[in-house]
Amino acid sequence: MFTRAAPQVAPGPRLPYVGDLLGRSRQARLGAWVAVVPLAFILGVIFVAIFAPWISPHPAQGAGESNLVAILQPPSHTYPLGTDELGRDILSRIFYGARVSLLTSFVVVAIAIVVGVMIGAAAGYAGGIVETILMRLTDFFLAFPSLLLAMAIAVVIGPSLKNMILALAVSWWPWYARLVHGQAVVLRHLSFVRAARVAGVKPFTILIRHIVPNTITPVLIQGTSDVGSAIIAAAALSFLGLGAQPPTADWGSMVSLGREYILVQWWYVTFPGLAIFLTAIAFNLLGDTLRDINDASARRA
């Protein structure tokens, strides 16, 4: 898996058909669009999250200040996406909510990657009783649906943004532990790891310098896709009142509050829901594109 195959005698070159060239060019253009469009959208969401106080039409309302003279106004020139039950601008709230959603998803995935990679790498390299204990612990967490486990933890420790991040991270790391464990088992039998062991290199150093770096590419690809899943999971917990608390703007809580008005004031729930959907789709498409590029590179190696 990680060694280059022995060279083989290839057949003589063949002049490509016109159809081959056209097919490759179409695939290249399609691949470029598939990669560029979600990446551009993600960069746009990050830009909005960072500069929300400066680009929001009504920054004070986005931060939680109410405006009782503009309650549940439909989309207009003053309020492009309408207002909520407290007269707050939906567009400004979405801009501020991007901060919460991106922060939550990035931190959850980062914690899960760090914990999962270290546990999976240690189990795969050590083997024996250490591997058995660590992987049985991983299986214990995997036995529960991740969202249900996060909900249970959030209920026990109390609803807040920090507690929601902790609950999601606890339910997320086992997937990375499983992913890294399988690769670490293969790596520990390769010649460069054996050579380091024979040379007297400490096990921790071997993990940090040899095992973890060779497992990080698929982990980062998986992490890119998981950001989208983490956004949906965080929105679900916020929808249930287990995430960020009012007046903090959060996409999930906006959908939860807007469901009471969905039949009349449709804009309230529609636009925060679209923000969740489009951002999650963008991260999933980017992750799939990175996975395809990595697979193509591995086939050429």
Give per-residue pLDDT as tens, 70-117: 899 999 999 999 999 999 999 999 999 999 999 999 999 999 999 999
Whether residue 8 is contained in a domain is answered as no
Whether residue 202 is contained in a domain is answered as yes
Whether residue 85 is contained in a domain is answered as yes
pLDDT band at 32 (very low <50, low <70, confident <90, very high): low
> Residue 247: pLDDT above 70?
yes
Cα–Cα distance, 118 to 180 (Å, whole number)? 9
Whether residue 250 is contained in a domain is answered as yes
Nearest-5° Cα angle at 179, 174 to 182: 120
For residues 238-274, one letter each, b for 16 or more C-beta atoms within 10 angstroms of the residue's C-beta and e for the rest, the string is: bbeebbbeeebbbbbbbbbbbeeeeeebebbbbbbbe
3-state DSSP helix/strand/coil % of the chain, to nearest 5: 75, 0, 25
> Residue 174: pLDDT above 90?
yes
Whether residue 134 is contained in a domain is answered as yes
- Pick from 125, 135, 209: nearest CA to 174: 135
User: Across residues 134-153, what is the average pLDDT?
Assistant: 91
Whole-structure pTM value? 0.84
User: Across residues 185-195, what is the average pLDDT?
Assistant: 85
Residue 156's Cβ-count burial label (10 Å; 0-12, 13-18, 19+) is exposed
For residues 128-137, one letter each, b for 16 or more C-beta atoms within 10 angstroms of the residue's C-beta and e for the rest, the string is: eeebeebbee
Cα–Cα distance, 111 to 118 (Å, whole number)? 11
User: Across residues 239-246, what is the average pLDDT?
Assistant: 89
Whether residue 10 is contained in a domain is answered as no
DSSP annotation of 261 reads G
> Residue 153: pLDDT above 60?
yes
Token representation of residue 108: 């959850």
Whether residue 34 is contained in a domain is answered as no
Whether residue 26 is contained in a domain is answered as no
* Domain residue limits at 60: 39-300
The residue written with tokens 């989309």 in the block is: 75
> Residue 280: pLDDT above 90?
yes
pLDDT band at 293 (very low <50, low <70, confident <90, very high): confident
The residue written with tokens 């746009």 in the block is: 44
With a pLDDT cut of 70, the percent of the chain lying above it is: 86
For position 34, what pLDDT does the model report? 63
- More confident site: 150 or 23: 150
CATH number at residue 190: 1.10.3720.10
For position 127, what pLDDT does the model report? 83
pLDDT band at 199 (very low <50, low <70, confident <90, very high): confident
Total count of domains within the chain: 1
